[in-house]
Amino acid sequence: MSVATVEDRTDLYIAGARRPARSGERFEDRDPATGLRLTEVAAAGHEDVQAAIDAARAAQPGWARVPPRERGALLTEVARRIRGVADDLARVESTDTGKPLSQARADVEVAAQYFAFYGGAADKVYGDTIPLDGDDFAVTFREPLGVVAQIIPWNYPLQIGARSLAVALLAGNATVLKPAEEAPLTPLALAELLAGAGLPPGVVNVVPGLGEVAGAYLAASDDIDHITFTGGAETGRLVMAAAARNLKPVTMELGGKSPSVVLADADLSRAVPVITKALIQNTGQTCSAGTRVVVHASRHDELVDRLAEAFAAVRVGRGLDDPDMGPLISAAQRERVLSYLDVGREEGSRMVTGGDGRRVEGLDGYFVAPALLTDVTPEMRVAREEIFGPVLSVLAVDDDDEALRTANDSPFGLIAAVWTSDVDRALWLARNLQCGQVYVNSYGAGGGVPLPFGGYKRSGFGREKGLEAIMEYTQVKTIAFDVRAPRE
């Protein structure tokens, strides 16, 4: 049997073994395409999360002593094993999240790349040499943090699970990972793949459970050393407040309202398919989704016409049938998206296309059509708030300065794209946009595995992905030497 299958009952993963919650409690994980129950998942309670933390605490020193080269070899082996069960993993991810099968396949490959990338980096985490007075000097080591807590969302459980686990393990940490209620299955599969590759029990623990129970307990624990949280701003605030009580450091990835800036000289035939994909990927439920377009007035009508045509052609359906766009994750998320469309109407924006809860033959899932809103101005809620669905707000501007001002006029600052044929304008914008990543005449770079990723402003702080993430998962020790010459 593959590690990646959907079973009727799904258990926790603690200290190298699958087990039900001590309370026996379970919650339903639903298929977003049908609204029907997919599996019943053990709901970790306080005792279970504590058991996971204890297991991680016990296992961590031994794991940190494994030579970096061997830790790296194990992670590299996990990459191989992920690719070996790619089809199964992709089907589970597609079923659990609703995303189209080919996107789930891409997520599997990105997950494998995280393990390969950090596996290769494991024995290359060097410190510095710092010259002091005379012959004195100091050296630095990057040491593990210890036991890290990772609270992840439902939109990319496999990718985010992989990026979190791989870098934490590379650095010699042990982890307790809390997946989201809506999509906990592939992070559990990752834990089993790691065990199959030889990871000692207790180094990775995965505790599905309700956010306000399992997540809150983990965030408030004094027995962990760091928290990485990816999710909504409101929950991020709660997690940070809980961590503050114990003075625990946090890394926060809180989403965005990322703009594509289309200047007067942009190549629209190149931009339109990319802007469309940047929105509809994962049904708009991507922290870095391109949900605002800031366009020069001279190109506005042409861009809107082309986007409307592209949106109307988007095939919406069940993930396993591999459409262009699947359902939203839950009934609640669908309600949220539809209510924002009402807000947009009330605020005076114009809906050019989409906006309906779309019916898909024979399915009762959480579908919507991609929506295109024009006449949007920067102060509108549909321009400022993260909707987390396929809703694109178009804002017209008169010149490059206004384009920059409008793009930056947001509480968020995760990523941005610039569309222009002029290298000077591209560089000027890229340098002045307030966000963590800027793409020029593109949007995203595959999974962006080697690229530091994280927000300015309310999009969060700290960086994940790339070599930069190793800094987040290690702490620096400095050792100074007093060197005396032999005759002194």
Smallest distance from ligand TXE to CB 280, Å:
16
- What is the rounded CA–CA span in Å between residue 451 and residue 449? 6
Smallest distance from ligand TXE to CB 327, Å:
15
Closer to ligand TXE at the Cβ: 61 or 411? 411
With b for 16 or more beta-carbon neighbours within 10 A and e for fewer, the 265-279 pattern comes to: ebebeebbebbbbbb
Closer to ligand TXE at the Cβ: 39 or 230? 230
Nearest Cα neighbor of 27 from 192, 163, 215, 176 is 215
Known catalytic residue at 253:
yes
Q: Of 93, 181, 192, 253, which one is the catalytic site residue?
A: 253
Closer to ligand TXE at the Cβ: 56 or 403? 56
Nearest Cα neighbor of 372 from 411, 341, 342, 343 is 341
Smallest distance from ligand TXE to CB 351, Å:
20
With b for 16 or more beta-carbon neighbours within 10 A and e for fewer, the 309-336 pattern comes to: ebbeebebbbbbebbbbbbbbbeebbee
- What is the rounded CA–CA span in Å between residue 352 and residue 307? 10
Render 95-115 in DSSP notation, one character per residue.
HHH---HHHHHHHHHHHHHHH
Whole-angstrom CA distances from 178 to 8, 174, 213, 438 are 20, 13, 11, 30
Closer to ligand TXE at the Cβ: 144 or 365? 365
Give contact residues for ligand TXE (rule: CB under 6 A). 151-153, 155, 178, 180-181, 211-212, 215-216, 219, 230-232, 235, 238-239, 253-255, 287, 336, 386, 388
Number of residues assigned to the chain: 488
Closer to ligand TXE at the Cβ: 281 or 474? 281
The two tokens of residue 456 are 């300015």
Bridge partners (DSSP) listed for residue 371: 391
Q: Is 59 exposed, middle or buried (0-12, 13-18, 19+ CB in 10 A)?
A: buried
Pairing label, strands 474-481, 137-144 = antiparallel
Q: Of 77, 182, 192, 287, which one is the catalytic site residue?
A: 287
Smallest distance from ligand TXE to CB 409, Å:
19
- What is the rounded CA–CA span in Å between residue 456 and residue 461? 7
Smallest distance from ligand TXE to CB 215, Å:
2
Beta strands in 152-225 (DSSP E): 174-178, 204-206
Closer to ligand TXE at the Cβ: 66 or 151? 151
Residue 36: phi and psi, rounded to 5, are -90, 160
Smallest distance from ligand TXE to CB 154, Å:
6
Closer to ligand TXE at the Cβ: 130 or 241? 241
Please report how the helices 101-121 and 157-170 are oriented relative to each other, as an axis angle in degrees rounded to 10.
10
Known catalytic residue at 287:
yes
Contact, 169 vs 198, CB < 8 A?
A: no
Smallest distance from ligand TXE to CB 450, Å:
20
Closer to ligand TXE at the Cβ: 300 or 336? 336
CB under 8 Å to 84, separation ≥6 — which residues? Answer: none
Smallest distance from ligand TXE to CB 33, Å:
18
List the catalytic residues.
253, 287
